[in-house]
Amino acid sequence: MSESHVSFGRIAATIPVGDINRALGFYRDMLGMTVVFTNGTPVGFVILRRDDAELHLTLVGSHRPRAFNVAHLLVADATRLYEYLVENNVRIVKRLRDADYGVRGFVFCDPDGNRIDVGQVLG
């Protein structure tokens, strides 16, 4: 069987965090995601959802942020999200811009320094 005959389901990014509660404060309270699953005592893994987006947080005590994007989030209105994050003092790594390939986007960091690339398909 070739790979062209295999049907894929959803795939979700797993983001390492040094503090689950701090991360939840950001993804749940700042970005409006809903916790749909937790695992561990104390909690060391969380699944969050909002609309079609799903994100997994995993506790990594020695986590160090990387200099690359760990997830890409497609949104209907990148400008609105950008302005909201700026108003709430979220660290912006790359400012809002329209790329020549038809995407308006920007990159922000979560409290653990994880880079999230945001994009809106234009046209």
CATH value at residue 28: 3.10.180.10
CB 34 within 8 A of CB 48: yes
pLDDT band at 1 (very low <50, low <70, confident <90, very high): very low
Strand order in the sheet with 115-121: 69-74, 115-121, 103-109, 92-98
3 has a pLDDT exceeding 70: no
* Predicted confidence (pLDDT) per residue in 24-80, tens digit: 999 999 999 999 999 999 999 999 999 999 999 999 988 888 888 989 999 999 999
Q: For residue 81, is it within any domain?
A: yes
Provide the number of structural domains found in the chain: 1
pLDDT band at 7 (very low <50, low <70, confident <90, very high): confident
Per-residue buried b or exposed e for 31-42, using 16+ beta carbons within 10 Å of the residue's own CB: bebeeeebeeee
Domain of 78?
Answer: 10-121
Q: For residue 1, is it within any domain?
A: no
- The confidence score (pLDDT) of residue 8 equals 82
Q: For residue 45, is it within any domain?
A: yes
* Predicted confidence (pLDDT) per residue in 78-87, tens digit: 999 999 999 9
